[in-house]
Structure 1
Amino acid sequence: MNEPTNSTVHPVVQEVTDRIRQRSAVTRAAYLDRIAAAAEQGPARSRLACGNFAHGLAAMGTPDKEALRSFVKPNVAIVSAYNDMLSAHKPFETYPALLKQALREAGGIGQFAGGVPAMCDGITQGRDGMQLSLFSRDLIAMATAVALSHDMFDAALMLGVCDKIVPGLVIGALAFGHLPTILVPAGPMASGLPNKEKSRVRQRHAEGLASSDELLAAEMASYHSPGTCTFYGTANSNQMLMEVMGLHLPGASFVHPHDPLRDALTRGAAAQVLQLTALTDTYTPIGHVLDERAVVNGVVALLATGGSTNHTLHLPAIAAAAGIQLDWADFADLSAVVPLLTRVYPNGPADVNHFHAAGGTAFLIGELLDAGLLHPDVRTVAGHGLSAYRLAPALEGDELIYESAMADSLDLDVLRPVSKPFAAEGGLRMLRGNLGRAVIKVSAVAEQHHVVEAPAAVFDDQHDFLAAFAAGTLDHDFIAVIRYQGPAANGMPELHKLTPALAVLQDRGHRVALVTDGRMSGASGKVPAAIHLTPEAAAGGPIARIQDGDLLRLDARAGTLELAVGDEELAARAVADQPPQQQAPFGTGRELFAAFRQHVGPAEYGASVIHSRPKAFA
C-alpha cells in the first residue's frame, strides 16, 4: 500500500518512512493480503457447527446468548494481563465487568476471551527469573493468539500496561490484524518518595552507608499503591507509544486508577471499539492502524521523551508482526532531528504525574505535529488523523468529553515546546564499530560522560562484577564488559542492579561505562551504557574476544564503539567460553525456555522467536 508523501512532514521523517516502506514492500503486502482474507471471511461463529457454537455460548447470560446466536450484535474479546501482585495490573481486576456493561449499553457483547501472564522486572531484577522476562513478551503474544483463536469476535480490547506485556498484546493482536483493537490502560500510582531521594538512598546502600532497612523503606515509599510505577521506564513508555501510535483513546495514558475519569475512559474504549467493527462504515482494523507511518510516529515519540531503551527491541518486533521492517539505523537517523522535550526520571527528578500535570501527551503530540515530526494523516482508534490526540479528556457530569489542551507547558523543567528543547537531538543513539552495533540512552547522561576511553574489565556474570565492586578492586577508570547476557545466551536479562555501583564509581571521579549484549531497562541512568550489543557473545560476536585491559572507546557523540585491537589479532583470538551455569540453566522455569534461547533472533530485530530475519552487520 503506497502512501503519498506528506509535504507537512519533516523531510528526514518522511525519508525514513519512505525507506521503511520500500524495504518492507513485500512483507507488508503479504501481511495486508492475509488480514484482508481474514476480514472477508468474517467471524467464524457464523460458520461453526452447532456443537462448536454452543460451546462458545454456553457460559453467557440469556440476553447475550440470544443476541450472539442471532448475529445481530458485535462480540468483543477482552484479553487481560490482570494479576494482583503487579501494582500496575491490580486495577484490571474490575475492568471486565465494567467493559461488558459498557458494551451492552453501547449495543454490543463482551466475552473475557483469555488471560496472559504478566511478570514484573522490578521484582526479578538481579534474579534468575529475569531470564524469562524478555521471552515473556513472545509468550504473551502467543497467549493472546490462543485467546482470539476461537474466532468468535468482531473486535478486541487488550488490558495491559507493563514492560513486555503491552508489546506482547500488540504482537498477538496483529496476528488477528483484521480485528479492530483498543489498548486499555490503568494509569499510574500517585507520586511517592521523590526520585532524587530514592536514587540517593540506593547509592548510599551500594556504598555500605545505608542499611537494608533504610533501603527497603525508601523503595516502599516509592512503590506504594495500585497503578504503574511513576518513573519513565518501559511501562510508561508503553503508554506513551500506544497513544501516539493511535491505539489508546486520546489522553488515556496517565489518568490515575482511582480518578472517575479513568472509569469513563475505560467505558469509552468499549463504546468506541464498537464503532470500528466491520459492521459499521468506519471499519478500522489494527493491521491498518499500525502502518509504516504509525511505527515512525512511535519512534519519534520515544526519542522526544527519552523513553525506554527496551523499545529498541519492542518496536522492531511489533513492526515485524505487521510486516514492517524497522532497524536501529532508522532510530539513529530520526534521533538526529527529533529534539528532547521531556525530563522525567531517570532523565530528571520529575515523574509521569508531573509530566501529565505540565500538559502531558496532548501538549507533546501537538508540539510534534506542529513541528512536522509526526505523520498527522494516520488512522487511529479515535478516527482519521492525530488531531484528536491534541485534546484532553475531561468529565461533564458522568460523560466523557474532550477539551482543548494547554497552549503552554505548565512546567518547563519537565515538558518543553519544540522551540525550547532540553536537547536538540533525541534521547537514544546507535553506536557502531568493530564490536558490532549497540544502543545508548544519552538523555540522562551528562555531556562530559558522553565519551569514555578506558581499559576493559571483563565479566561473564553481573554478580561477578558486583563482587569485584564490593571487594574494592574497581576503584579506577574502566569500561565494564558484561557479556553472555544476550537473548541466545540467557534470555537477555536487565542489568539494572549494576547502576548504583557504576554511579558510585562515576561520582568518585572515575571514567566508567558499560558495554554489554544484555539490557539495562527503561531505567537506564546517568552512567553511559552501550547495550543490546549485536552480534552477541553466544553468537560468536567480537565481545566474546575482549580481554581484560583492552582499550575501549565509547563515543556517544560520534556514534562509535571501538576496541583498540587490530582486526587480524581480534579474529585470531579464541572465543571465551560461556559460563557452565548458563549453558543449560535450570530453576525458576528457565529450562522451559530452552527452545526460545535456541531460536531467538538478533536484538536489532527485536530479539524475537516469532518474527526474525538474518542480519549482515555493517
Structure 2
Amino acid sequence: MPLHDTIARVTDRIVARSQARRASYLDRMARAADEGPRRAHLTCGNQAHAYAAMGGDQDRLATGQQPNIGIVTAYNDMLSAHQPFERFPRLIKDAARAAGATAQVAGGVPAMCDGVTQGQVGMELSLFSRDVIALASGVALSHNTFDAAVYLGVCDKIVPGLIIAAATFGYIPAVFLPAGPMTSGLPNDEKSAVRQKFAAGEVGRDELMAAEMASYHGPGTCTFYGTANTNQMLMEFMGLHLPGASFVNPNTPLRDALTRAGATRATQITNLGNDYRPASQVLDEKAFVNGIVGLMATGGSTNLLIHLPAMARAAGVELELEDFAEISTATPLMAKVYPNGLADVNHFHAAGGLTYMIGELLDAGLLHDDTLTVMGDGLRDYVREPKLKHEEVVWEEADRGTRNDKILRPVSDPFQKTGGLADLNGNLGRAAMKVSAVKEELHVIEAPCRIFEDQKSVKDAFKRGEFTEDTVVVVRFQGPSANGMPELHSLTPTLAVLLDRGLKVALVTDGRMSGASGKVPSAIHLSPEAHFGGPIAKLRDGDVIRVDATAGTIDVKGVDLDTREAVQRDLTDNSHGIGRELFEVFRQNVGLASNGAAVVV
C-alpha cells in the first residue's frame, strides 16, 4: 500500500523544517560513533573504578571485547508502574551474561507519580521532572563505559525524559523495557462516577477512598489510557520496544521472558557487532510521524503534544502543532479505551491491541514501514505477537481480526474518521483540544467566561453554587513559566458534574489537563501563556468566548484585546515550598508550551 498523501506531505514538511538541526545532530552522533567502543578511551584507573564491584564480570569487562549494557532505571516502589523494575536488573544481567556480555546499573532517575500529586503543590514540579530525568540519565551514561543502554521507565514524564537522554546519547543503541499494566480492578467508569458523586457532595470520603483503592490495587501502570500507557504505545510504534511488549502484565512468565529478550537484543545491536542500531538512527522523522499516527489512532494523552516536540528536538527533529492536527485529519480513531470508552488497557490488549492496530495502519498506508527499529527493518515486525515457548519468547503472526469491535475497530470501520485532535487558533492565541471523548454537541461552546487563577478557586465557586448557566471556565497563570504547568485534572469531576446538569461548560487554560481527560471540552496549552502577557491575561469576567473545535478557532467575541492591559499576578508563592525553590532556574528558562516546554533541549 502506498503511503497516504497526508502522511507523506507532513513527513516531507518535517524533514524540510528539521534539515539544519537534524544534519548537525547526525554529524555529532557519527563522530561519537567513530570513536569506537566507549571503554577503549578510559585509562586503566578509570576502568578499575568502573569494574571494582562487578565480581566475576571484572575480567570480561576489562578486555573490552564484549558489549557492556548500561541500565538506566526509574525504579521506586511508590509508583505502582515502576515497582516491578526492582527485579529487572538481575534479569538483564543474567541475560547479558548468557549472551557473552555484561550489564551494569548505570544510574537511577527520579520518577514522580502524578496520581499522588494531582491537585497538590508537588504537581508544579511534574513537568520539570522530565528535564531532571534527562539530566540524571546524562550523569548515569557520562561514565562512558557502555555500548548500549536499556531504559526502565513507564509513566508520564519518565519515558519522555529517558527518550531525550537516549537521543542525546544517540550513538549507542537504546532499548526500552516496559513493566506492563496492573490487572483490572474496579472499572474506570465506576471509579469516575464515585468521584463525581463526591464532588457533588453525594457520597463521603470513605466511599471515595474505597473506590480509589479498588481501582489502583497492585503493581503495574494504571489501567486507563492516560499518559503512561500512551507512552508505552509510542515506544512500540516508534520501534523502541520489542514487538508486543507494551501491555503484558508484570511478574508473569511472559513479562520476564520479554525483559530477558530485550536485554539480549541490546547486546546484539551495538557497534561491536554487524547489526549496529544506534538510537540516533531509530529516532528519525519517520519514527516520530509513526508515533503521532499511533497517538491519534488510539486517542492518546494530550500530554504527548508537549512531550513529543521536546523528545524530537533532542534528536534534531522539529515538530509543530500543525503536524499533529493534520495527521489527525487522516488518521481514524480505532480504539475506545477509558476515558474514551469503558474498556481498560487489558481489555484493549486482549482485543488485539497494538499488534492489530499497527497491521491495519500499515495496510492503509498510514505508517512508514521502512523505519529502523530495535527489532529489525520496518514496522512489519510489530504485526507479530510474542508467545512463550520453553521459557523463551518467539514471535508469531497475529490474528488479523479484532476480537471485540466495541473496543477495537479496523481502519475501514473506525469509531471516528479522524483522530480527534483540534488545533485552535484565534485572538486568544493557540491551543489544543482533544475531542475523541467529547460529545459532538459540545465541540462548539460559546458562553460568558469566569476567570480563575488556580484550581481551588474553581472548586470553591462550584461549592458556593455559582455556576448556574453556560460558562467558559478560564484558569490562567498555569503555564510552564508561571508555575511549572501542573495538570488540572482535579477539575474534571467538578466540570463533569456541571455537564451532567445540562450546562454547556468548557475549560480554557494555559496549563495542562491529565492524560486521562475525557468528556469535558478543554482548550489547553494556550500560548502565549498569561505570565508572558498573552491574550488570556487580558480577559475579564463576562467576556464571551467561543471555543470551536469544528472550525479550529478560539476567540473572545466583541472585545478589542489590544485596548486592554494584561493582568499581572504576584507569583512569589509559586517559588517556594515542597521543593519549588530548587526549580526556579527551570521556570526562568523554560521554552513555550508549543515547543515542548523544554529546558534542556
- For normalisation by structure 1, the TM-score amounts to 0.96
Tell me if 1:8 matches 2:25. no
* Structure 1 residue 258, shift from structure 2 partner: 2.3
1:285 to 273, 278, 295: 278
Find 2:596's aligned residue among 591, 599, 606. 606
Corresponding residue number in structure 2 for 1:512 = 505
Output the CA distance in 2 between the equivalents of 1:401 and 1:53.
37
Alignment partners' CA distance in 2, 1:235 and 1:129: 18
Deviation per CA, 1:335-374: give whole Å up to 9, x if none: 1110000000000111000000000110010001000000
CA drift at 1:610 = 1.5
Q: Which residue of 2 aligns with 1:123?
A: 116
SS in 2 for 1:481: strand
Q: Does 1:452 align with 2:445?
A: yes
Instruction: Report the equivalent of 1:572.
Output: 563
> What is the correspondence of 1:245-264 to structure 2 with a 5 Å cutoff?
245-264=238-257
Give the C-alpha shift of residue 43 in structure 1.
Answer: 3.2
Secondary structure of 1:95's aligned partner: helix
Q: Deviation string for 1:54-104 (max 9, x for gaps)?
A: 111111113x11111111211000000000011000000010011000000
How many angstroms apart in 2 are the aligned matches of 1:47 and 1:402? 38
Q: 1:20 aligns with which of 11, 14, 17?
A: 14
User: Is 2:404 the partner of 1:411?
Assistant: yes
Rounded Cα–Cα distance in structure 2 between residues aligned with 1:421 and 1:321? 34
How far off is 1:427 after superposition?
2.4
Secondary structure of 1:325's counterpart equals coil
Question: What's the Cα RMSD here?
Answer: 0.9
Question: What is aligned with 2:495?
Answer: 502
Deviations 1:184-238 (A, max 9, x none): 0000000010111111101100100011000010000000000000000000000
**Which amino acid in structure 1 is aligned with residue 593 of structure 2?**
A
Amino acid paired to 2:450:
A
Alignment partner, residue 134 of structure 1: 127
| Structure 1 residue 575 displacement after superposition | 1.1
The 5 Å alignment of 1:57-136 reads 57-62=51-56, 64-136=57-129
**Contact 1:307-1:427 within 8 A present in 2 as well:** no
Q: What are the ranges of 5 or more consecutive residues in structure 1 without an aligned counterpart?
A: 1-6, 612-618
Which has the higher mean CA deviation after the structures are superposed, 127-136 or 66-75?
66-75
Cα drift, residue 45 of structure 1:
1.9
SS of the equivalent of 2:46 reads helix
Within 5 A, what are the aligned runs for 1:303-322?
A: 303-322=296-315
CA contact (8 A) 1:206 1:500 kept: yes
Alignment identity in percent?
A: 60
What CA distance in whole angstroms lies between the structure 2 residues aligned with 1:48 and 1:280? 21
Tell me the distance in 1 between the aligned counterparts of 2:287 and 2:9. Answer: 14
1:224 counterpart = 2:188: no
1:511-554 Cα deviation digits (max 9, x unpaired): 10000000002111101000000110011110000100000000
Question: For 1:421 and 1:610, how far apart are their aligned partners in 2?
Answer: 39
Of 332, 336, 341, the match for 2:329: 336
Structure 1 residue 592 corresponds to structure 2 residue 586: no
CA contact (8 A) 1:460 1:579 kept: no
CA shift for structure 1 position 247 = 0.2
Distance (Å, rounded) in 2 between the aligned partners of 1:121 and 1:575: 31
Alpha-carbon distance in structure 2 between the residues aligned to 1:233 and 1:192? 16
Cα drift, residue 379 of structure 1: 0.2
Residues 390 and 597 (structure 1 numbering): CA distance in 2 closer, same or farther, change over 3 Å? same
Amino acid at match of 2:182: M
- Partner of 1:393, secondary structure, is strand
Partner amino acid, structure 2, of 1:410: R
Q: Where do residues 474-489 of structure 1 align in structure 2 (5 Å cutoff)?
A: 474-489=467-482
Q: Distance in 1 between matches of 2:75 and 2:42?
A: 30
Instruction: For 2:75 and 2:41, locate their aligned partners in 1 and report how far apart those are by CA, in whole Å.
Output: 32
Give the aligned residue type for 2:100: G
Q: CA deviation at 1:322?
A: 0.3
Indicate conservation of the 8 Å contact 1:201/1:218, yes or no.
yes
* Structure 1 residue 581: Cα displacement: 4.6
Structure 1 equivalent of residue 43 of structure 2: 49
Q: Deviations over 1:309-342 (max 9, x none)?
A: 0000010001000000001000011111100000
Number of aligned residue pairs: give it: 601
Unaligned stretches of 5+ in structure 2? none
Structure 1 match to 2:160: 167
CA distance in 2 between counterparts of 1:408 and 1:244 reads 19
In the TM superposition, what is the alpha-carbon distance from 1:281 to its structure 2 partner? 1.2
2:508 aligns to what SS in structure 1?
strand
Deviations 1:147-205 (A, max 9, x none): 00000010000000000000101101111100101000000000010111111101100
Q: Secondary structure at the match of 2:169?
A: coil
Is the Cα–Cα contact under 8 Å of residues 305 and 427 in structure 1 kept in the other structure? no
Report the residue type matching 1:46 in the other structure.
A
Alignment of 1:414-429 (within 5 A): 414-429=407-422
1:597 aligned partner, one-letter code? R
CA distance in 1, matches of 2:460, 2:575: 21
CA contact (8 A) 1:203 1:503 kept: yes
Of the three residues 370, 377, 384, the one matched with 1:384 is: 377
Letter in 1 for 2:521: P
Distance 2:465 2:256 in 1: 53
Distance 2:598 2:114 in 1: 18
Match of 2:227 in 1: 234
Indicate the residue corresponding to 1:614 in structure 2. none
Q: Could you tell me how far apart the structure 1 residues matched to 2:562 and 2:335 are?
A: 43
Distance 2:128 2:429 in 1: 23
Q: Does 1:39 align with 2:29?
A: no
The residue number in structure 2 matching 1:4 is none
Q: Distance in 2 between matches of 1:181 and 1:323?
A: 17
Q: Could you tell me how far apart the structure 2 residues matched to 1:565 and 1:76 are?
A: 61
TM-score after normalising by structure 2: 0.99
Q: Aligned with 2:489: secondary structure? A: coil
Q: Give the distance between the partners of 2:571 and 2:455, measured in 1 at CA.
A: 15
